[in-house]
Amino acid sequence: MLVLSLVLIPIVAGLGLFLRRGEHPDQSKAFGAFVAAFTFVAAIAARGEEWSFRWLSRPFESSFHFGTTSVSFWIVLLLALCTFCAILATNVPRTASFVAQLLILEGAMMGVFLARDLLAFALFWDLMLLPVFFVLLGWGTHAPTAWRYFIYNFAGGLTLLLATAAFGVLYGSTDVIGRADVHLVGAWVPWIFAGFAFAFLVKTPVWPLHTWMPLTYSDTPAPMVAVVSAVQSKAGLYGLIAIGMAFMPDYFKAYAGIFIVLGVISLLYGAFASLTQSDAKRVVAYSSLSHLGLIVVAIASFNPLALQGAIVYIIAHGLFSAMLFLVLGFVESREDTRSLRRLGGIGAANPKLGGALCIAALAALGLPGLAGFVGEIIILIGLFQAGLLWAVIPALVAIVLASAYMLRLFQGIMNGPNVADLPVRSDLSWIEGLAIAPLVLALVVLGVDPHALTAFDPSAYNTTTSQGVTR
């Protein structure tokens, strides 16, 4: 039941908060943070637990089956942590409704990562898009952004749904996630794989399906975008590992070249685009495109070591991108702008804010000692081992560029002459400090001792063996 409560409690709490009358910003934040903290503790306690409830027996078997897999456990922890930090950092009008949307988003994404059933996965996949859409409608500044997000991602959601239905009809059951003995064969399977892959690549995103992302990331309020970029974008990568690689490895391998090429283009394109942006949030958005491109390459290489690195980097990227967006949110709330041209020289008067951005930027550029470095180096070794030298070199270029754009971001905001025209500003408040402290702690701990994460066993996902039961 504990694992079910991970999904239900945030959704119920969010709905309750949404329907409550009146504005109580501090109460709402405290309540939301408490719920998120509970899910974090409950997720640790629920490791290995499973809960199942029969949903359909015709036309294919399907259950509401929840439980962690070796990959999803860490992403679930990341999700609870990021939601906690994001709720504490919330500083927007109509706080109660916003926190409610964050909680519903958390519950829906818990459903995505905990689902052991494909149909439940697809259900929560669609559900997790709604809070972001509503936040873009209610708090965004630019209506077309919401449409762009909605149309791209729901198109992906629909192909996912069609592929799931076809999977169910072909295999007779969708209660399969986390099982290693399920292999799909047949003339229809490439189409099913294409349906899944389209949804996952849109969500991640990779070039050329990324055009919704910079707009969404810059227009969504910082706490929401922190969760979206840290965790929601990982749903696609998780799907590639837990569904594409697990059930259709032969087809995934056959088309792996396409994924690697798209990943390499994304990581280069993202890095160069990031260098030219003047909007601080877009710098981070394009850097995400670059980092996630690297993870796509790592997954598609089918090398066990690179895959382990991908898991580490999924978590590390979640931590530092959440932190970057939260800190940029703090800057924006003080200066009323995100434009690098109109920012500068904040660091001298605000040492704590400067320090926070510095740590986040260093983690993002892969400084040894922080978690990002561990992921990058394992992925690169793995790619080298797999003989993908032509992918390693662009990856190195992108990593060098990461230093350039992250330092440009930091310097543009914190160093240089003071160009801001707003006289009153304060350094980090204690609650803002509390919001980013867990992320810093996690980045350092995982950077020094990543063994917990690398204990992930890729052979459970059919990377080395390709024999299994088909029916």
By CB under 8 A, name the binding residues for another protein: 18-19, 55-56, 58-60, 64, 119, 122-124, 126-127, 130, 133-134, 137-138, 143, 146-147, 150-151, 154-155, 158-159, 161-162, 164-166, 168-169
Backbone torsions φ then ψ of 469, nearest 5 degrees: -90, 130
Of 346, 338, 352, nearest to 285 (Cα)?
Answer: 338
| Minimal distance, residue 59 CB to another protein, in Å | 4
Render 255-290 in DSSP notation, one character per residue: THHHHHHHHHHHHHHHHHHHHH--BHHHHHHHHHHH
Of 71, 450, 48, 381, nearest to 245 (Cα)?
Answer: 71
| Minimal distance, residue 16 CB to another protein, in Å | 13
What's the one-letter identity of residue 230? A
Q: Which of residues 69 and 164 has its CB atom nearest to another protein in the complex?
A: 164
Q: Which of residues 124 and 302 has its CB atom nearest to another protein in the complex?
A: 124
Q: Which of residues 129 and 285 has its CB atom nearest to another protein in the complex?
A: 129
With H, G, I as helix, E, B as strand and everything else as coil, classify residue 64: strand
| Minimal distance, residue 4 CB to another protein, in Å | 12
Dihedral sign of CA atoms 316, 239, 283, 257 in order? positive
Q: Which of residues 158 and 437 has its CB atom nearest to another protein in the complex?
A: 158
| Minimal distance, residue 159 CB to another protein, in Å | 7
| Minimal distance, residue 271 CB to another protein, in Å | 33
Q: Which of residues 158 and 431 has its CB atom nearest to another protein in the complex?
A: 158
Letter string b/e over residues 274-310, b meaning 16 or more CB atoms within 10 A of that residue's CB: bbebebbbbbbbbbbbbbbbbbbbbbbbbbbbbbbbb
The maximal CA–CA distance of the chain, rounded, in angstroms, is 70
| Minimal distance, residue 155 CB to another protein, in Å | 6
| Minimal distance, residue 213 CB to another protein, in Å | 19
Of 237, 372, 249, nearest to 298 (Cα)?
Answer: 237
Q: Which of residues 151 and 455 has its CB atom nearest to another protein in the complex?
A: 151
Q: Which of residues 22 and 48 has its CB atom nearest to another protein in the complex?
A: 22
**End-to-end Cα distance, the chain:** 32
